[in-house]
Amino acid sequence: MKSTNFPIGIFDSGIGGTSIWKEITTLLPNEHTIYLSDSKNAPYGEKSKQEIIDLSVKNTEFLLAQNCKLIVVACNTATTNAIQYLREKYNVPFIGIEPAIKPASLKTKTNKIGILATKGTLNSALFEKTSSTINKQIIVKETIGTGLVELIEEGQINSDKMKSLLSLYINPLLNEGVDCLVLGCTHYPYLIPQIRELVGNKIEIIDSGQAVAKQTKVVLEKNLLLKTDTKKGKHQFYINKNKDVLAMMISEKSDFISIDEKEF
Ligand code: DGL
C-alpha cells in the first residue's frame, strides 16, 4: 500500500521535463517529488520504439525503488512509445504527456495547426491515433525539431544556432498559414520567448504542461494518494550527466531541492 507521503516520480530523457515538474509543484506545492533526468541517453526521439521502452522501464524501476506513489512520464516521446507497456507491467498510476493537438484543433480559425515534436513522437502509433480523432477539415503540419533537444541539454537556449534552427522549422509553418503551434516536446516550453520573437502575436503557442499537472492531481485524488499535510514538499533530482544546466533551469525554485549527479 502506497502512502500519501511518498513522492511523485517524474522522468524525462533529459532536463525538459522540468517544465512539467514546475507545473506540478506549482499546483501541488506540498507534494514530494523525485525527478530523473536521463540526459546521458537523450535524445530519445531518434531511438527505436524498443529502445525507448527499455529506457522507460529502467527509469520507472529507479523511481519505484524509491517508493514513488505515481509516475509522470514527462516526455512526449516516452509517453507515445512506452506508456501502454508501462501501464500493463506496473501496478502504479502513470500520467503521460501527448502533444495538445486536440485543444489546438478547437482553437484554430485558419483550420491549420503546426506541431513541433520529435521524430519518435510524430511516428508513433499513439500520435497517429490521436491525430485521427480530430476534425478532418483541419490540416496538421508536422515538423520534426531535429537538434533542438540536444541544444537545450547543452544550455544553448539563446544561441544563434538555436535561433536559426527555430526559423528553419517555424517559418514554413507561418507561410502555410497556421495560427496555432503545438509544442509536442517537454523541452520546448523553454523556447517560448525565442519562438514568440519569431512569430510575434500572430499565432497561439500551445503546450500540455498545465493539463498534465491537473491530471496528476485528479489521479492522486481518485487513488486517495494526495498528500494530506500542509508542509512544503521536498524535491530530489537525479541526473546521469553534468548537472549545471539542470541546476540553472530550476534555480528560481531552489527551496527544498537537492540534485544528485550519478550513474543509473
Ligand atoms: N522531452 C522529450 C519529449 O517530450 C524529449 C525527447 C527526446 O529526448 O528526443 O519528447
* Ligand 1 contact, 37 CB (< 6 A): no
The pLDDT value recorded for residue 1 is 66
In the annotation, is 68 catalytic?
Answer: no
Of 20, 47, 49, 77, the one to substitute when testing ligand 1's pocket (max ligand atoms within 8 A of C-beta) is 77
| Residue 148 alpha carbon to ligand 1 centre in Å | 10
User: Top-level CATH class of 8-97+209-261?
Assistant: alpha beta
The angle, 0 to 180 degrees and rounded to 10, between the axes of the packed helices 49-64 and 76-89 is: 60
| Residue 229 alpha carbon to ligand 1 centre in Å | 34
The pLDDT value recorded for residue 251 is 87
Which of 122, 165, 181, 185 does the annotation list as catalytic?
185
User: Top-level CATH class of 101-206?
Assistant: alpha beta
- Over range 23-27, report the average pLDDT: 97
- Kindly indicate the confidence band of residue 168, based on its pLDDT and cuts at 50, 70 and 90: very high
Distances (CA, A) of 212 to 25, 76, 248: 12, 11, 23
Portion of the chain with pLDDT greater than 90, in percent: 96
Atom of ligand 1 nearest to the CA of 46: 9
Distances (CA, A) of 24 to 70, 81, 91, 253, 256: 12, 23, 22, 12, 15
- Over range 67-91, report the average pLDDT: 98
| Residue 231 alpha carbon to ligand 1 centre in Å | 32
Q: What digits encode the pLDDT tens for the residues 181-239?
A: 999 999 999 999 999 999 999 899 999 999 999 999 999 999 999 999 999 999 999 99
The answer to whether 211 and 19 are in contact (CB under 8 A) is: no
In the annotation, is 180 catalytic?
Answer: no
Over 90: is that where the pLDDT of 2 sits?
Answer: no
Which of 75, 101, 104, 203 does the annotation list as catalytic?
75
What's the pTM?
A: 0.97
Distance CA 113, CA 205 (A): 10
Atom of ligand 1 nearest to the CA of 118: 9
- Over range 134-147, report the average pLDDT: 96
The pLDDT value recorded for residue 256 is 85
Average pLDDT, the chain: 96
| Residue 30 alpha carbon to ligand 1 centre in Å | 27
Over 70: is that where the pLDDT of 174 sits?
Answer: yes
* Ligand 1 contact, 186 CB (< 6 A): yes
**48 by DSSP, 3-state: which?**
coil
Delimit the CATH 3.40.50.1860 region(s) of the chain: 8-97+209-261, 101-206
Q: Which residues contact 178 (CB under 8 A, 6 or more apart)?
A: 108, 110, 112, 113, 114, 141, 203
The pLDDT value recorded for residue 255 is 74
